[in-house]
Amino acid sequence: MSRIALPFRRLPFPALALPLAFLVMTTLDLRPALRAADLDQWQAGERITSSSPAHAGLAAVVLRRAATLEPALGLTGAAARRVDVVEDRRAGATVNEVDYTDARGRPIGLLRLAADGRLLAAIRLDYRDAYAQATLSGRDAEQSARRIATDLALPIPDGGPDTRATMNGLMWTVRWPRVVDGAPVPGDGLTVRLWRSGDLHSVTVSERPLAPPATVLEPAGARAVIEGMLPTLVSTERRADGTLGVGTLGWVAANDLSQPERADAPATTLRLAYVFELRFGGPSAELVRALAFWIDAETGELIGGDVLR
C-alpha cells in the first residue's frame, strides 16, 4: 500500500509525446479534442487563479472566523487585515483569503478559508534569525504540531505522522497523510511546518472530494481487466520488456493519459482505483521507467494513469 502513497509526477504535455509512443490507438470512447469536456475550464495563457476584494458583509464574516484561529497561528498582532475572494479554476474551488500586514505595511501572514469556514492553509511570513538557532527534536516537533492542530480544532488523520527535517534542517515538516477506507489519498492530509525553534511556519489541510464506490472489485478481477486491456494499450515490443506489478488501491483524479486527443485536466473528484504499474527493463527502460494504469475499483474501466520517467 505504501507505493501508491507517493503521488506520481505528471509530465507536461510535450514530454508525454515519447512515452505515449508506447500506446497504440484504440476505440476506447475516442472523441475530437474540441469536444473534450475540460477544454472550457481555461484557455492557454489565462491565469488559473484570480482574486477580487470581498464585499463588506462577507469580509466581516471571514474576519470573525479568522479571529478564532489567529491566537494559535501567532497572527493576533497584525496591524491590518484584507479579505479577498480567490477562485482556483483548476481545482474548481473558491476560497476566502485574509492577508495580514504589520504597522509598516509589510506582509506577515496569510490565511485561506473554505466557503464554510474550514481552515485550508495558513502561513507566517515574519522570519527571524532566532527561528533557526534552536535544536527542536523530531519528537518535540511532532508533539508541538499535534498541539497546534488541536488548538485549531483540525481533525488529525488516524495513524502516526511522517516527521522529517526539511530546509536543510532549519525546519520540521510533520504530515499526517489522509487514508479513507484503508486506501491512501495521495497529496491529501494535514501538514504542519515548524521552524527549528518550534515557532509555526505554516499549516495546510487538503481534503479533496471523493466518490465512494458502491462495490469494490476483487483484486483478481481488477488484474484480469488490465491484463485484457494491455494488448490494446501497449505495443507487443514494449510489453515484452515490461512486468506488471500487483494492483494497489488508492484514490486518484481521473485523467486522459491513454487518450492524448483529449485535454488532460484531472478530475476534481477522486475515485477509488486499482493502480497497476507496468515497469520496463531492456531497451524500453531507456525511454521510460514505468507506466501506471488506473482501473476504477467499482466499474473496472480505465480512468487514467501516469508516466514514470
pTM of the complete model: 0.74
Q: Are residues 11 and 152 in the same domain?
A: no
Lowest mean pLDDT among 110-114, 151-155, 267-271: 267-271
Domain end residue (candidates: 186, 207, 228): 207
| Grid cell at residue 308 | 514514470
DSSP 8: P
Higher pLDDT, 162 or 8: 162
Q: Are residues 129 and 91 in the same domain?
A: yes
| Grid cell at residue 140 | 518535540
Average pLDDT of the segment spanning 27-46: 40
Closest CA to 33 of 261, 303, 304: 261
Neighbour order of strands in the sheet with 107-113? 49-53, 80-88, 93-101, 107-113, 119-124, 200-206, 183-195, 171-180, 162-166
Q: What percentage of the chain reaches a pLDDT higher than 70? A: 81
The chain-wide mean pLDDT, for the chain, equals 83
With contact defined as beta carbons under 8 Å apart, do 252 and 275 qualify?
yes
Q: How far apart are the first and last CA of the chain?
A: 21
| Grid cell at residue 300 | 473496472
Q: Are residues 195 and 290 in the same domain?
A: no
Radius of gyration of the chain (CA): 23
Q: Are residues 34 and 92 in the same domain?
A: no
Quote the domain boundaries for residue 296: 2-42+213-308
- Total domains in the chain come to 2
Q: Are residues 37 and 56 in the same domain?
A: no
- pLDDT at 206 > cutoff 60: yes
Strand ranges inside the chain, DSSP E: 49-53, 80-88, 93-101, 107-113, 119-124, 162-166, 171-180, 183-195, 200-206, 210-211, 242-244, 248-252, 270-280, 290-296, 302-308
Q: Are residues 186 and 276 in the same domain?
A: no
- For residue 39, what pLDDT is reported? 43
Domain end residue (candidates: 207, 232, 254): 207
Q: Are residues 112 and 261 in the same domain?
A: no
Domain end residue (candidates: 180, 207, 234): 207
Q: Are residues 186 and 74 in the same domain?
A: yes
- For residue 267, what pLDDT is reported? 84
Cα separation values, 61 from 58, 77, 100, 114, Å: 5, 20, 16, 12
| pLDDT tens per residue across span 41-77 | 445 455 667 889 999 999 999 999 999 999 999 999 9
Average pLDDT of the segment spanning 282-290: 89
Q: Are residues 38 and 67 in the same domain?
A: no
Cross-strand partners of 271: 211, 252
Residue that has been written with the C-alpha cell 506489478 in this structure = 245
What span, in angstroms and rounded, lies between the C-alpha atoms of 301 and 2? 23
Q: Are residues 217 and 186 in the same domain?
A: no
Q: Are residues 138 and 180 in the same domain?
A: yes
| pLDDT tens per residue across span 143-202 | 999 999 999 999 998 888 999 999 888 999 999 999 999 999 999 999 999 999 889 999
What span, in angstroms and rounded, lies between the C-alpha atoms of 292 and 22? 12
Q: Are residues 141 and 226 in the same domain?
A: no
